[in-house]
Structure 1
Amino acid sequence: MAGENATNVSKQRIGWIDAAKGLTIILVVMEHTTFGVQNAIGHLPLVFGAIAEFAKPFRMPLFFLVAGLFAYKALFGDWRKFVDGKIVHFAYFYVLWSVIQIGIKIIVPNQGAWTVTYVDLLMIPIQPFAVLWFIYALSLFFITLRLLRNARPFFIFLFAIALYFTRLDTGWMLIDEFAWRFVWFVAGVYGARQIFEIADWARAQPMKGVALALLLLACVASVVFSRLIDIRALELLMGFAGGAAAVMLVSVLAAKGFAGPLTFVGKHSLYIFLSFFLPMAATRILMVKLGFENGDLITLVATAMAVISPIIAYRLVEKTPLSFFYVRPDAFRLTGRKRTVRPDIVMAAGGD
């Protein structure tokens, strides 16, 4: 009985992570859908526009915090496995889906916010395309911390904070996003114990956990909609506040058994991140052409299709020659594949 209880506690302790990933991917898809709808109908959807603005301070911070939670072992593990799992793994999906996205935009022009040409294909190694920047950035985060693994975490965190406050705006997405986001990955790696403790406390004290989470989210909303979020220090604090609130809420939901849909989405996060753009754009374009004018309705339907369709697509191709779209083939591996594991890009990123 004691062993069963320990197992249940262990499952609960990490069960919220997939739910957090699910929340993150939904927020990312929703944001891109919202602004795509704005470009299509000429105005920002009222409800989803407000949600996207509210979630902006902690949406990507939450992603990189969770990505760093299980990174410590990779940073100090075997070098060959590190290169395979954190460089080759990311490079494969980044290059493949960059070519696919750019190719689609070249073949079907005038459906995006900017002109795409063959030059964008040549720029893939140095200038990430659209949402795929996060794959490139995540690999660079791992490489950077691997190289700095013998440095004291305190100094690494100071370095990350300093980068954050530089407000780099070079126009080179890779450099700018690295400077803006690196602090969150560092916080996830070296603050993993504290993050798990926050989740544990919220699960043990659900009423207090939910109350504190809602208070933190209220603070985020106040800062965002008062425009104080433009103050860099407040932006940083709201990122931590929103991230902590999300961790507490999903931990409580997972412990109570209410996080099933978020967990399911989180377990398929890679597939969604890679290919949500196509069903999202197709649904939006179709609904606008059919005469739908309610921006929030278009955003809701397009977001749902963008989240669900990639999962269906993966299920359809997973046992076919087309599985290479979502599963890295053995030909692109440096180490043997011991067992079948979903190629999860967020949690322990890269050990498929």
Structure 2
Amino acid sequence: MEKQRVDWVDIAKGMCIIFVVMMHSTLGVEKAAGAEGWMHYVVSFAKPFRMPDFFLISGLFLGLVIDRPWRRYIDRKVVHFLYFYILWLTIQFVFKAPGIAAEEGARGVVSAYLMSFVEPFGTLWFIYILPVFFLVTRLVKRVPAWLVFSALALLETLPIHTGWVMIDEFCGRFVYFFAGYAFAPAIFRAADWLRQRPLVGLAGLALWALVEYVLVFTPAPPSLASLLTPEAFMSGGRGGWSELPLISLFLGLAGAFAIVATSALLSRLAGANPLHRGLSWLGSHSIVVYLAFFLPMAVTRTVLLKSGVIADIGTISFLTTAAGVVGPVILYALVQWSGYGHFLFKRPAWAIIDRAPQKKTAAVAAE
């Protein structure tokens, strides 16, 4: 049973990372081209659940390791992500620095780099905020789960938009991470139940997709427009009902569970099935894709837009997304084949503060 659970969790993480790359790729292409393509509709549809599902999945296995000794917990849940954040922040700055220097000079580059330790840089904000979620969850683990969840649900609902990524994302996303941690047993039971009842699962997913579509693409009425924030029209948002308070929370939780249900159903496929194997591999190596997709994405976008070989913006967005997913996989394969560059995706010994052996269990998926 544990193997099945890990299978569907990896599949879910694989789907999540594809949606994240798709959003950055599509919006980047459209911004550069000054026009929208058909992929924008896919990004808009996924917006209510794109990050909630990623955070919910990230919290699923925390219950297995939350009582570790503090030193080991800090090593696995803080230092682990801090290492990759600093490394890939520096790598990204190698490519970003010339543009920043052209606009703000050398001092602007230094200032932007240092500021990135306060305000997470670009696409790396996810691994910047995860250690905060791990630490806060550990600190409140003795507080009744229903009370913490209720407080976090209230934070998600309140119009908190300070302009600071850490504050805004903490208030808007922590509820999903905590839900993954607090309700993991129920989520696993539900996934196993659906896995054995595919027709029920498919019917439920069809109903969810219909509701999601209507709420995303139906504009909020003028009488409620004051409840919409500028963020309601960013990252693929269309200012629909889905952006309104409470509805956004409902869709975030429902969409996250829809990914769980979809993954549980896909895990029924034989392990040799290409879709099963591909999503499982991407899920188990999601940090590889998340860290390294920015460069192949940017290169592909620039080449396709400047070459003019393909005119359709949606197709360019799709190909850019594919490059953003496949590029890191190729880089990872080259690292494994050559034996050089392991530090890009695996912490070296000097960056580990707890030497206790790490068991190869489902808990590794949370790290």
Fold conserved between structures, TM > 0.5: yes
Distance in 2 (alpha carbons) for counterparts of 1:104 and 1:123: 17
Aligned equivalent of 1:274: 291
Q: Secondary structure at the match of 1:117?
A: helix
Letter in 2 for 1:309: G
Alignment of 1:182-197 (within 5 A): 182-197=174-189
Is 1:289 aligned to 2:302, yes or no?
A: no
Contact 2:194 2:200 in 1 (8 A): yes
Matched, 1:239 2:230: no
Task: Return the offset for 1:339.
Answer: 6.0
- In structure 2, what residue type is equivalent to 1:307? V
Q: Secondary structure at the match of 1:240?
A: helix
**Corresponding letter in the other structure for 2:327:** S
Q: Compare 298-307 and 183-192 and name the one that shifted more.
A: 298-307
- The residue number in structure 1 matching 2:365 is 347
Distance 1:346 1:43 in 2: 42
Of the candidates 57, 65, 68, which is equivalent to residue 74 of structure 1?
65
Corresponding residue for residue 241 of structure 2:
228
Pick which of 21-30 and 188-197 moved more: 188-197
Structure 1 position 81, deviation (Å):
0.8
Identify the residue that residue 173 of structure 1 maps to in structure 2: 165
Q: Which has the higher contact order (CA 8 A, sep 6+)?
A: 2
Q: 1:300 aligns with which of 308, 318, 328?
A: 318
Determine if the alignment matches structure 1 residue 149 to structure 2 residue 141: yes
Q: Structure 1 residues 176 and 346, CA, compared in 2 at 3 Å: closer, same or farther?
A: farther
Find the residue that maps to 1:26 and give its secondary structure: helix
| CA deviations over 1:23-64 (Å, ceiling 9, x no partner) | 00000000000100111111111x210000000000111001
- Give, in whole Å, the separation in 2 of the partners of 1:280 and 1:345: 31
Greater shift after overlay, 124-133 or 162-171?
162-171
State the AA in 2 paired with 1:193.
P
Match of 2:347 in 1: 328
Deviation at 1:239, TM superposition (A): 1.0
How big is the shift at 1:277? 0.5
Cα distance in structure 2, aligned partners of 1:71 and 1:50 = 34
Alpha-carbon separation, structure 2, partners of 1:83 and 1:207: 43
The structural deviation recorded for 1:165 is 1.8
Q: Give the 5 Å matches for 1:32-51.
A: 32-45=24-37, 47-51=38-42
Q: Is the 8 A contact 2:158 2:245 kept in 1?
A: no
Pair 1:189–1:220, CA change in 2 (3 A): same
CA separation of 1:21 and 1:204: change in aligned 2, threshold 3 A: same
> What residue number does 2:105 align with?
none
One-letter amino acid of the counterpart of residue 338, structure 1: P
C-alpha deviation, 1:195, in angstroms: 1.0
Task: Measure the CA separation in 2 of the matches of 1:74 and 1:138.
Answer: 15
Which residue of structure 1 lines up, in the alignment, with residue 224 of structure 2? Answer: none
CA distance in 2, matches of 1:339, 1:161: 34
Q: Any stretches of 5+ residues in structure 2 without a counterpart?
A: 103-107, 219-239
Is the CA contact (8 Å cut-off) linking 1:58 and 1:239 kept in structure 2?
A: yes
**Deviation digits for residues 289-340 of structure 1, max 9, x if unmatched?**
1113211111111111111111111221246342111111000001226369
Q: Distance in 1 between matches of 2:22 and 2:34?
A: 17
Q: TM-score, normalization: structure 2?
A: 0.87
- The whole-number CA distance in structure 2 between the counterparts of 1:285 and 1:337 is 45
Deviations 1:213-238 (A, max 9, x none): 12112111111111111211111111
Tell me, yes or no, if the aligned pair for 1:21 and 1:346 is still in contact at 8 Å: no
CA distance in 2, matches of 1:192, 1:172: 30
Partner Cα separation in structure 2 for residue 162 and residue 35 of structure 1: 30
- Counterparts of 1:73 and 1:137 in 2: how far apart (Å)? 20
Aligned-pair identity (%): 38
Asked whether the equivalents of residues 41 and 293 of structure 1 are also in contact (C-alpha less than 8 Å), the reply is no
Normalised to the residue count of structure 1, the TM-score between the two structures is 0.90
- Quick one: distance in 1 between partners of 2:358 and 2:133? 26
1:61-103 Cα shifts (integer Å, max 9, x gaps): 1001110000113222211110100111010001111121122
Amino acid across the alignment from 1:176? D
Q: CA RMSD in A?
A: 2.2
Contact kept? 1:284, 1:298, Cα under 8 Å? yes
Deviation of 1:346 (Å): 8.7
